[in-house]
Amino acid sequence: MDANGFRNLFEYHFTRNRELWEHCITTLTPDQFLQEVNYSIGSMRNQCVHLLNIDERWFSGLRGLPLPDFADPQPYTDFASVRSKWDAVEAGMREYLAELKDVALNEDFMPGVKVWQILFHVLNHGTDHRSQMLAGLHSLGAPTFAQDYFFFANDMPIKLTRD
């Protein structure tokens, strides 16, 4: 895997996050957005904040910046506050990825852990939490979709379902 391969995989990550937001999460009422879901981290708001916070923490480490604290979702009281933070985190990630060189992938992030392993971890973490959110969205009656990389790589549009 080279830097361009990781840029492609992160484009998938960003695209699926945005599609999840635009086509599924924003169909919720404000009360549903904050409603506890009896799995993992809880509400859709909490899931979103967790996902963006963990992305920000790992990429801060990759960029040599101080790690932000683990985010408390409570201050994020509405859709706009979550989206604003998520957009800022994505912009920082894109800046890092734009400058990423092949040689950096095999550098140590920490002893015994390479940069490429951290990047893979962030992607895997995102897929895991999108899956949890899709299940929670389904339970709330919101539309969902298959988030498969294959569909993204083959430029196939998502198919929303409420099944």
pLDDT in tens, 40-98: 888 999 999 999 999 999 999 999 999 999 999 999 999 999 999 999 999 999 999 99
How far apart CA 105 and CA 4 sit, in angstroms, is 11
136 falls within a domain: yes
Percentage of residues in the chain having pLDDT higher than 90: 94
Question: What is the domain range of residue 13?
Answer: 3-153
Instruction: Give the residue, 41 or 103, on which the prediction is more confident.
Output: 103
Give the Å distances, CA to CA, from 147 to 19, 86, 119, 134, 159.
9, 19, 19, 9, 10
- Nearest CA among 31, 18, 44 for reference residue 137: 44
Q: What is the pLDDT of residue 162?
A: 84
Percentage of residues in the chain having pLDDT higher than 70: 99
85 falls within a domain: yes
Q: What is the domain count for the chain?
A: 1
Q: What is the pLDDT of residue 37?
A: 84
161 falls within a domain: no
163 falls within a domain: no
How far apart CA 42 and CA 23 sit, in angstroms, is 20
Q: What pLDDT, in 10s, does the model give residues 16-32?
A: 999 999 999 999 999 99
How far apart CA 38 and CA 118 sit, in angstroms, is 29
Q: What is the pLDDT of residue 25?
A: 97
28 falls within a domain: yes
Q: What pLDDT, in 10s, does the model give residues 62-72?
A: 999 999 999 99
Judge whether 44 and 141 are in contact, CB under 8 Å: no
Q: Tell whether the model's pLDDT for residue 102 goes beyond 90.
A: yes
159 falls within a domain: no
CATH code (residue 112): 1.20.120.450
142 falls within a domain: yes
